């Protein structure tokens, strides 16, 4: 979708859903968000963020309550999903 809401004929054709651990997400800087970590953005809670990364306790672990799911190992994580569309074209030699 363009910012004005015009889809230009694109139709959402698929969805990707995955998980990222809270720890891994804290090591992903997002340039368009002033280089905040993905964890800080997804936590979306000032009490769980310190500067541009997720807050850590005295032992260096990210504070509890960050994340909205867990990995099979039990580690806290975020669920991330995206919808996408594709438009096929013919490329002639």
| Max intra-chain CA distance, the chain | 62
Token pair belonging to 64: 């509890």
Q: Name the more confident of 13 and 39.
A: 39
Report yes or no on 51 lying in a domain: yes
62 assigned to some structural domain:
yes
- Assess whether pLDDT exceeds 60 at residue 32: yes
Is residue 7 predicted with pLDDT exceeding 60? yes
Cα gap 42→25, rounded to integer Å: 9
Give the span between the Cα atoms of 86 and 38, in whole angstroms.
Answer: 26
Number of structural domains found in the chain = 1
Q: Specify if 16 maps to a domain.
A: no
Domain membership flag for residue 6: no
Residue 89: predicted pLDDT: 72
How is residue 24 written in tokens?
Answer: 């891994």
| 13 in any annotated domain | no
Full residue range of the structural domain in which residue 35 is found: 22-84
Q: Which one is predicted more confidently, 83 or 20?
A: 20
Q: With 80 as the cut, is the pLDDT of residue 13 above it?
A: no
Residue of higher predicted confidence among 2 and 51: 51
């Amino acid at each position: 979708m363009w910012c004005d809401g015009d889809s230009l004929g694109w139709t959402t054709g698929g969805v990707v859903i995955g998980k990222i651990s809270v720890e891994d997400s804290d090591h992903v800087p997002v340039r368009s968000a002033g280089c905040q970590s993905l964890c800080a953005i997804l936590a979306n809670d000032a009490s769980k963020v310190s500067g541009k990364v997720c807050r850590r306790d005295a032992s260096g672990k990210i504070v509890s309550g960050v994340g909205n799911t867990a990995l099979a190992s039990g580690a806290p994580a975020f669920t991330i999903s995206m919808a996408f569309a594709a438009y096929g074209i013919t490329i002639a030699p």
